[in-house]
Structure 1
Amino acid sequence: MQFQAASGSRAFGAARASRRAAVTVRADKCLIVNTKGGGHAFIGYHLAKQLAAKGHDVTIFNDGDQAKLSAKAPFNQYPTLKGVKVAWGNPTDYSTFPEGPFDVVYDNNGKDLDSCKPLIDAAKGMVKHYVFVSSAGAYKADSIEPMHVEGDERKASAGHVAVENYLKEEGLPYTVFQPLYIYGPHTAKDCEQWFVDRVIRDRPVPIPVPGVQLVTLTHVEDVASMLAAVPGNKAAVGQHYNVCSDRAVTFQGIVKAVGKALGKEPKVVLYSPEEIGTGKSGKAEGFPFRTVHFFASSEKAKRELGWRPAHDFMGDVDALVKEYKASGRAAKEIDFSVDDKILKAVA
């Protein structure tokens, strides 16, 4: 399975010939290039599921070693995807690329130009739509107007931004999606689990001051449904969209919601990471989120893509806690050494 420089051009080029032969195409051939770890890793599985349900022909091309990853979530769910083809390889190595043609390419893997350029170059001039899953973390933090909207200033030094600029410079029919914090089944990175770990064990929950920082937590199915709105949608070309719920919650609000779902009264301990030496520049050792506001508007996606979230975190908390218990994690040993260091420092 190849589409390296020459064979890559041949594979994507075949898409042009097929479009000339059939002007009306109800379904697209979609390639999802998926990352091997981190908070975006489960997007590929959920996106493939939704695209296939819409009648698209879907291939997942996953970065990494199949033997090492296929027993772990979310990759252990791939066999449940009916009709979806799965390939493993290296998105920077043309020789491992699956054979096309593909009409829509989703890059849910690269974070900088070095990791994205080979795929972009192979797709150049040959695909209907190139979708880059970027990050709202590339926005510059704003303490005056903290809610991010599309068009806000972004960090010139961010690797994601360099990729976005390259897509524009090379003239690809691109769309950029900017997710925030994501929760839901088969995640490879903690979100609400960090809070449940502590509340379920009746441990104090250390939260960076002031504790009322607002965040948007978005269900992965809502993330996937927004991305799945792209095939056939020419209006999305050249656009950026925030991928997030239309609700925001505070750090302390997450703790209280988890406590209510568990029937407990959790204790929150507020602390300054900078003062006790466990953090700087908006980050705190051991804490799963930034220490500043991190929320955004999804109104553009609602307006232009006809998208609506089907979930909200507060409505999902009971189910999330049940999933946590069912996973057996409550019986596992968790490393609370950073918590203990914080609690000792503020005692």
Structure 2
Amino acid sequence: MKVLFIGGTGKISMAISRQLIEAGHELYLLNRGSRNSELGGSVKTITADIHDEQTAAKLLDGLTFDVVADFIAFDTPDVERDVRLFEGKTKQYIFISSASAYQKPLSDYRITESTPLANPYWEYSRKKIACEEYLLKRYRETGFPVTIVRPSHTYDERSIPLGIHGEKGSWQVAKRMLEGKPVIIQGDGTSLWTMTHNSDFARAFIGLMNNIHAIGQAVQITSDESLTWNQIYECIADALGVKLNAVHVSSEFLAACSNDKYDFYGSLLGDKSNSVVFDNTKLKRLVPGFTAQVRFDQGVKQTVNYILKHPELQVEDPEFDAWCDKVIKALDDAIKAVKQ
């Protein structure tokens, strides 16, 4: 395949890029080049900011592709631009949407691609929905060859997947665990969630590429494994070799405690506070033989071990650490006040 990725070196896309290169496909990356060197010399790079449409169009002039996938399109103007750039120049265009676009609250905890799209809590999700609607309209009216992919919580070796963390990433929560400090889990920790390793996501994604049966379709890609948030945090603590000191805080309270830096309203009420169980029948029909292979307790151990060996990924976040302490103290003070 001759493939163009817009982005191509992020949490989800890096694993896909690596697997495509290993399989001998011709891969072009259009990005600003921050991590391209990690993929070696076989990848072809187009160094540009895709938001500079005029420059991108000049650099892409004369090129055609079997597949174009945009990993950094978040709003309708982004996909409108992509249609202008790639209509008639690719056999398939893949838009990366989000499983957070599914209705909140859910009318049925079992999620399929037919579950309605509606999220009043999170603007990010509403923008993804609008992108989907625009692209499917183009497919119906002009035959633009779109495939929509909906990931859920996908993780890699560089970041520990969590319910809440600060703007500097997940390390500060891991550091709290290592220090024996209390760690916040949203709700009572019993809602179900699905974690997907990026290597599993990549295998499914590649199976949808250049797949005529995927054109005009929306497909979710997740693991079939369901865990409670309590189990997720226990797995992380076990990987760190420590005992978990959990403090359960209602999602509504955490959302109310949000500020300019920590906005948990959308990410919790519009996503992670809801139980989700994905039915991946459609994906397995389109990609015969696909099964997620990385169990979460095994995958998160790989992530933790990688981060512990790479100090540059251990980015501390004192502000978030102090915010956690304030939230926990507020709960303790409330309990004391009620008991008086």
TM-score normalised over the length of structure 2: 0.80
What are the residue-to-residue correspondences of 1:54-69 with 2, within 5 Å? 54-62=23-31, 64=32, 66=33
CA deviation profile, 1:322-344 (whole Å, cap 9, x unmatched): 12211227976432011111110
Partner of 2:322: 337
- 1:284 deviation in Å? 5.4
What are the residue-to-residue correspondences of 1:1-347 with 2, within 5 Å? 28-34=1-7, 41-62=10-31, 64=32, 66=33, 70=34, 75=35, 78-92=37-51, 93-97=53-57, 98-99=59-60, 100-155=63-118, 158-170=126-138, 171-186=143-158, 191-192=161-162, 193=170, 195-275=173-253, 277-279=256-258, 283=264, 290-306=272-288, 307-328=290-311, 333-335=316-318, 336-347=321-332
The gaps in structure 2 that reach 5 residues or longer are 163-169, 333-340
CA contact (8 A) 2:66 2:210 kept: no
Q: Distance in 2 between matches of 1:314 and 1:168?
A: 37
Structure-2 change in CA distance of 1:342 and 1:35 (3 Å): farther
- 1:216 deviation in Å? 0.9
Structure-2 change in CA distance of 1:292 and 1:236 (3 Å): same
Structure 1 stretch 239-248 or stretch 77-86: which is displaced more? 77-86
CA deviation profile, 1:65-118 (whole Å, cap 9, x unmatched): x4xxx2xxxx2x534334111222222313224431212101111111111211
Q: Which amino acid aligns with 2:228?
A: T
Residue aligned with 2:208, SS: coil
CA contact (8 A) 1:203 1:267 kept: yes
- 1:245 deviation in Å? 0.9
Partner of 1:4: none
- 1:305 deviation in Å? 1.2
- Alignment size in residue pairs: 303
Structure-2 change in CA distance of 1:143 and 1:167 (3 Å): closer
- 1:44 deviation in Å? 2.6
Q: Which amino acid aligns with 1:278?
A: C
The gaps in structure 1 that reach 5 residues or longer are 1-27
Partner of 1:16: none
Q: Distance in 2 between matches of 1:249 and 1:329?
A: 30
Q: Which runs of 4+ in 1 moved over 6 A?
A: 285-289
Q: Which amino acid aligns with 1:283?
A: F
CA contact (8 A) 1:44 1:60 kept: no
Partner of 1:22: none
CA contact (8 A) 1:50 1:224 kept: yes
Identity fraction in percent: 24
- 1:212 deviation in Å? 1.0
Q: CA RMSD in A?
A: 2.8
Structure-2 change in CA distance of 1:263 and 1:103 (3 Å): closer
- 1:174 deviation in Å? 1.4
Residue aligned with 1:229, SS: helix
Q: Distance in 2 between matches of 1:147 and 1:196?
A: 31
Q: Distance in 2 between matches of 1:283 and 1:229?
A: 34
Structure-2 change in CA distance of 1:134 and 1:332 (3 Å): closer
TM-score normalised over the length of structure 1: 0.78
Q: Distance in 2 between matches of 1:154 and 1:165?
A: 10
